[in-house]
Structure 1
Amino acid sequence: MRDEHTATLLDYYASHQASMQWRGFLTALAQEFETQLDTAHLRELMARIGVRFADAHPAGACATLDELAAFFNTTWSSLDWGFVNLVEHDEYLAIEHFCAPLAAFGKTAATWTPAFLEGAYRRWLSELGAAGLALRQVEASQHRAFEFRLSKTA
């Protein structure tokens, strides 16, 4: 029951997180983008926007995973963009991003809007010395999260 309750709370938060003044605009913007570009190009566009975002919010020095998680969480929390868990696995580092307000773009945009996060994470990780590693979005192992994996191979 606890997982169901948590899921309900996260659904509520995600649907109410984006300001009402932006929801209609962002949905219309997403619909227009979708008439002009295919999903691959939309993901490229959002990733480039994520890179610009990361450039405006440099990571600075993060020597440990705890420091990296603290940087991510401080950055996203200050903007009301959710929170991050970093999970080490033998073959990769998982970045689990919860409660990003991307739902404000509408349901059909869910295939391409997370590329914003991927672009930001890719830039930050490259800035910190992980340029030779691959970062990619995967189906989240945690319900209601966006998951990205940093590994030696894509």
Structure 2
Amino acid sequence: MAAIFEHLLDSHTSRQWRGLLSALADEFEAQIGRTELRQLMHRVGSRFADARPLPSCNSTAELAEALNAQWRDADWGFVELTDERDHLSIVHYCAPLPAFGESALAWTPAFLEGAYQQWLAALGAQGLAVRQAGEFGDDTAIEFRLARTVL
């Protein structure tokens, strides 16, 4: 299955951007530590979401629909939401993060984390934080969780 996803992600990342994104990521890593890169990408994701506000949502299903409309418009994959006992599970599929290169997968998911944080905070999720809960997998899935922040 991983080969199919890899092919789809590769074919959806424009060739004109591949070299630039990879070189950009390499230079970022040479100049900035991974913690700072995660912070930078989180801020970039927040700006992305701030420029694309979501409509009011009255259910998890409506929220998923609104989020998927944003990702579909940007050709950035899709999301599945699941209400768990102590958190909201946010599983994002098919984000073109590998376009930055394999090593950048340590910090590029913070873009999604920042976007989800911004959107959910704007919808009223105050006192809750979105945190990455897994690595970018062979199935292109990466999980985030919205949960109460620990003081």
Tell me how far 1:19 sits from its aligned partner.
Answer: 0.5
Superposed displacement of residue 67, structure 1: 0.9
TM-score by length of 2: 0.93
1:23: which partner in 2? Answer: 18
**Identity rate, percent:** 50
Higher helix share: 1
| 8 Å contact from structure 1 (residues 96, 140) kept in 2 | no
Q: How many residues align?
A: 149
Q: Do 2:127 and 2:149's aligned partners in 1 also have CA atoms closer than 8 Å?
A: no
Matched to 1:144, the amino acid is T
* Residue 128 (structure 2) pairs with residue 133 (structure 1): yes
Unaligned runs of 5+ in 2: none
The alignment partner of 1:57 has SS state of coil
After superposition, give the CA deviation of every residue in 1:100-137 in whole Å (9 maximum; x if it has no partner).
Answer: 01111001100000100100000000000102112100
2:97 aligns to what?
Answer: 102
Alpha-carbon shift at residue 13 of structure 1 (Å) = 1.2
Task: Could you tell me which runs of 5 or more consecutive residues in structure 1 were left unpaired when the two chains were aligned.
Answer: none
Aligned amino acid, residue 150 of structure 1: L
CA contact (8 A) 2:45 2:113 kept: yes
**1:5-154 aligned within 5 A:** 5=1, 7-139=2-134, 143-153=139-149
Structure 1 stretches of 4+ with a deviation exceeding 3 A read: 140-143
CA RMSD of aligned residues (A): 1.6
Offset, 1:140: 5.3
Structure-1-length-normalised TM-score: 0.91
* Pairwise CA distance, 1:32: 0.5
Supply the AA of the counterpart residue of 2:141. Answer: A
Cα distance change of structure 1 residues 137 and 106 upon mapping to structure 2, 3 Å threshold: same
